[in-house]
Amino acid sequence: MAFLKDLSAKTHSRFHAFAERSECVDFPASPTEDGDSVITWNSRKLKGKLPPGAGVREDVFLIWREMEEACSTLAQIQRLVAESPKSNMTTLDCESGAASAGNASNPEDTWDSKKWLQKYGLKSQKLSFYDVLANCSFRHADGVVDIKAKPENESVQTSAETKKKTVHAKYCSRFVHAPWKDGSLVHVNITKEKCKWYSERIHTVLAHIQRRIKWLQDGSQLLFGKAQNDCIYVLIDTSHSMKSKLDLVKDKIIQFIQVRWSCLVHASGGLCVTSAFSLAIVCCGH
């Protein structure tokens, strides 16, 4: 037995000593530190004994070590699962903190649409037509070939003359043709992966733009936009032609004053009295 093991080691091979097993037998469960059972092992009884000197095979030892590591990993995961309520509380606290941070003033709220689009628009996100097709398009190519043709003077007995002829590349008909920004013609090869990528990106950007539009139409911003000046004058046309719109204007001005409570707001009315707005103006003055 020792000779065979030594021979296998010198020849860089593996030595196995086998023993036949019969019926199954359960081994006791492996306890964890807190006394809970992790796993119950199942083995089979040996018929007789292992050959003398066989020892523990390397393959068996490696599998045993892997099993021990798996049991240790399982125990760690079970401890994490047991602590999940604490983790959930921590997650809720984090989400609450994130929500509080989201409610805080955002510097981008002071941007006008031009500045906002410079950061979040299609051009800045490289999603415009030419940006998207830049890496999946190639120039149209023509080739020059030699063609044997009849001589111009057919009365002269001579070999066929070689003439140059411009022909389109054979692959051109396989691709979509698109005019490029410089006026040239390019061939476009859009794969399914490229189409899926663009669809996901464009929907994300459009959703962001839609949220911006909704935000711009929220409250007083529908009429006045995002005014950030320290001193604001509101000129109100209270003529008869505006009678049907005065209630809407009044509501938006009140919302606007509530948003800009700390600023000085002056209101001027034309042609008619502005009593409908006097309350809001007085409150703002305070």
Number of Cβ atoms within 10 Å of the Cβ of 204? 12
163 lies in the same domain as 206: yes
When divided into structural domains, the chain yields a total of: 3
Best mean pLDDT range from 42-46, 201-205, 217-221, 250-254: 201-205
Q: Is residue 100 part of a domain?
A: no
Q: Is residue 98 part of a domain?
A: no
232 lies in the same domain as 204: no
Considering all CA atoms of the chain, what is the largest pairwise distance in Å, rounded to the nearest integer?
117
28 lies in the same domain as 58: yes
210 lies in the same domain as 120: yes
Say what the pLDDT of residue 85 is: 46
- Among residues 198, 214, 230, the one where a domain terminates is 214
Q: Is residue 272 part of a domain?
A: yes
196 lies in the same domain as 241: no
Query: Among 82-96, 142-156, 227-241, where is mean pLDDT lowest?
Result: 82-96
Say what the pLDDT of residue 181 is: 82
236 lies in the same domain as 205: no
Q: Is residue 90 part of a domain?
A: no
Q: Are residues 226 and 259 in contact, defined by beta-carbon separation less than 8 angstroms?
A: no
57 lies in the same domain as 134: no
Q: Is residue 226 part of a domain?
A: yes
Q: Is the pLDDT of residue 260 over 70?
A: no
70 lies in the same domain as 44: yes
- Among residues 214, 233, 261, the one where a domain terminates is 214
Coil/strand/helix, residue 25: strand
pLDDT digits (tens, 9 = 90+) for 261-284: 655 555 555 544 445 455 444 444
* 55 pLDDT tier (thresholds 50, 70, 90): low
Cα–Cα nearest to 216, from 102, 114, 101, 103: 114
Q: Is residue 88 part of a domain?
A: no
The residue segments making up the domain with residue 135 are 115-150+159-214
For the CA atoms of 142, 146, 147, 149, the dihedral, rounded to the nearest 10 degrees, stands at: 130
Query: Among 102-111, 125-134, 227-236, 277-286, where is mean pLDDT lowest?
Result: 277-286
Q: Is residue 104 part of a domain?
A: no
72 lies in the same domain as 124: no
Say what the pLDDT of residue 87 is: 40
Q: Is residue 107 part of a domain?
A: no
Q: Are residues 276 and 236 in contact, defined by beta-carbon separation less than 8 angstroms?
A: no
pLDDT digits (tens, 9 = 90+) for 180-218: 888 887 777 778 888 888 888 888 888 888 888 787 777
Taking residues 231-255, what's their average pLDDT?
77
- Among residues 176, 197, 214, the one where a domain terminates is 214
262 lies in the same domain as 235: yes
Say what the pLDDT of residue 37 is: 46
135 lies in the same domain as 206: yes
207 lies in the same domain as 229: no
Question: How many residues in the chain?
Answer: 286
Q: Does an H or E element contain 129, and which?
A: helix 129-133
User: pTM for the complete prediction?
Assistant: 0.41
Taking residues 213-235, what's their average pLDDT?
69
> Which residues, at least 6 apart from 203, have a Cβ–Cβ distance to it below 8 Å?
none
